[in-house]
Structure 1
């Protein structure tokens, strides 16, 4: 009994540790000016070591589909990055930011792999996400409304954009990007009215704080995600109302075609509207050390860099520029920046990873999580997010939630030890214990 209580305490501490570390990775104002990492990254590194040591001692690891897909992605990614670096060396266009990006990718590899093999992350993703989004909104609400309580933060960027504890409002936007979707998913799966109310207000406050960042990427990604949710909800409602009636088979088919044509028309109008807004927003610049240029130009020059080595890219680093490629500027677009670094091979792996997570959510009927993946992809079209632990946390958390059914969430605690092992084996396909 004592061992069981100690194990429960350790798991609770690990959950709190992970959630705190994720939140603090966004608190870039807490970093020392001479260091590229802060307390959040240090805490994550300690947790990674803990996972590795526990894996070696207990011989316990989950060979889940998430681990397998993540592992395959990184195998392809680093193969492309290494070959791209060799090509860049031969062409004498190696990026000066190569060491920074390489370190970031290695850290992302270690963190994402630790998440995919962690027992706590695999079995308690709801609690970890709840702590992350609750702690984030609560602290940001205090900074937003009562900045004098935390005077060591400079919460406003240029006096007009809310940046919280981050140095740049776009960094804060990444942290906020998935909170409405994950909170809405937890709201839908919760049984407690109090809990549902809590998640509702988290969503409301997140919208308020997110709007204050004035991040076009954040607003567009939210619009895309919630637009998909509304679209799918309306589609389902129309099907239930019109198709479930006692019509003949032919009339049902006619109504289905009408519904499809109406939704296609709405989609075309919506896509045109989103495209126009994206094009207008593209003129805004994501500042990087005072560098400023038209984002469209950065995209074009990033694509030009990719064209020099289309298959494997040019290795880690920034390959775009204001006046041409190879000037150590980011394109501020994950698809272009990652493509320039890892080529079509790496870009295909990235798109496949997103598609797999989206399909996992769609297959289980989690519309909100499906929309969250699309929204995250939309956000990544304006910023280079693959190097950030927050991106991998959100993506793997969504993937983990998508592999869990309502039975996993609510009934696993009632299974006997033997039945629970059998259930986990069915859920994850392969598990290695002892």
Structure 2
């Protein structure tokens, strides 16, 4: 894989920091990522003339969405949970989107692809130590580094919620294929790249998100099939390697966590944990060697834990539907309006459609639908299988989680829009990219 420049690395680090929500200053909802984005936003306003991009479809959506949510909040009689925090998150995501458009719109194709490559490389490197802490139950080291250990059987790294990390990792395999679509992998180089892709999929699966697993399970064959029709010549070695790596990563995880390899995993963890205790000078576990192993999955084909997750979500969706009926046109404004048992303990419906209906009603949902339909149509018109696949997996993932307020959700739509507009992933190259 070719090198990426320092600016692309810095931008990718900012994106990674945007999901590192556990790294906050005290109890304030502001951390390293938010400060970096604020500074870049001011820079984009001054030097990139960001305000001229307010007419971009993504920004038109955000301005309309925020306006509808504000009116609904003023007129509504039902107050949701975390309404102030959610409203601030929408404003922040809107500013993040404007900054991203201003920077990426003016980037050359080479700079754009460098940024995509950095988005592939940076998460992999940044997650090495969190993965080691997760795999060895090294809570002391994780605590020293600020790594979130509230989910002991899930890889969360510096994200408050593992699903934030899942969203970050979601499109990376598709963009990896996009930027290396001309690669000619052979011999040892093929074996090396196969191992790297396999390791990345293992990282993603360790987030233990069935939504992420399902999105990859649907998106990778979809991308392969569409690319077979649209992309000429079709790089069968690249796509075949990726599909094989995904299948092997899933099988490896199931074997080690849910299958016969579990005992060997515990022994390996004990050995590695002991070695880390010697290196970092941490105290050994009480009672001898640790016996930690990630919790077993709740199904043969999944990697999650909650055997009643479908029932829980059904309940949340039913109550969200009931809340929406109270204000069907513009919703109740920012916040969470569903619940499980106690109506006083409100939470999100964990579904993009239902959560948007409760907050901005039919008006906001139609606005988002118009934006997303525009993105899908443009991807199809440009015959860009990579952007199309990313848009599809974003919707699959959003069927189980509400991620609209996460800045990277908007960033991914923006990347797809600009990649399609400038032919980043479809233009023929004069020379193959080094791999």
Q: Please say if 1:223 is aligned against 2:211.
A: no
Deviations 1:310-341 (A, max 9, x none): 11111111111113767431111111111211
The TM-score with structure 1 as length reference comes to 0.70
Alignment of 1:8-87 (within 5 A): 14-55=7-48, 67-87=55-75
CA contact under 8 A between 2:81 and 2:347: conserved in structure 1? no
Label 1:182 to 1:119 Cα distance change in 2 as closer, same or farther (>3 A).
Answer: closer
Per the alignment, residue 283 of structure 1 pairs with: 308
1:183: Cα distance to partner? 1.1
- The alignment status of 1:170 with 2:166, answered yes or no, reads no
Contact 2:105 2:418 in 1 (8 A): no
- Distance (whole Å) between structure 2 residues aligned to residue 197 and residue 36 of structure 1: 44
**CA separation in 1, counterparts of 2:353 and 2:71?**
19
Cα deviations by residue, 1:106-151 (Å, 9 ceiling, x for unpaired): 1111111222222566433322222122110122134324777865
Q: 1:117 aligns with which of 102, 113, 124?
A: 102
Asked if the contact 2:336/2:348 (under 8 Å) is kept, the reply is yes
Gaps of 5+ in 2: 235-300, 431-435
Q: SS in structure 1 opposite 2:417? A: helix
Correspondence 1:1-400 to 2 at 5 A: 14-55=7-48, 67-88=55-76, 91=77, 93-118=78-103, 122-123=107-108, 124-145=111-132, 151-154=144-147, 157-188=150-181, 202-232=196-226, 283-284=308-309, 294-323=312-341, 327-400=345-418
CA RMSD of aligned residues (A): 3.5
Distance in 1, matches of 2:39 and 2:149, equals 31
Deviates more, 1:337-346 or 1:324-333: 324-333
Aligned equivalents of 1:182, 1:236: Cα separation in 2: 16
User: Taking structure 1 as reference, are residues 146 and 97 closer, same or farther at Cα in structure 2, changes over 3 Å only?
Assistant: closer
Cα distance, 1:213 vs structure 2: 1.5
State the Cα distance separating 1:39 from its structure 2 match: 0.5
CA gap of 1:205–1:319, structure 2 versus 1, over 3 A, is same
| Secondary structure in structure 1 of the residue aligned to 2:177 | helix
Q: What are the superposed Cα offsets for residues 45-64 of structure 1, whole Å, 9 maximum, x if unpaired? A: 110011011145xxx8765x
Q: Distance in 2 between matches of 1:200 and 1:186?
A: 16
| Distance change in 2, residues 1:122/1:409 (3 Å) | farther
Q: Relative to total residues, which structure has the larger helix share, 1 or 2?
A: 1
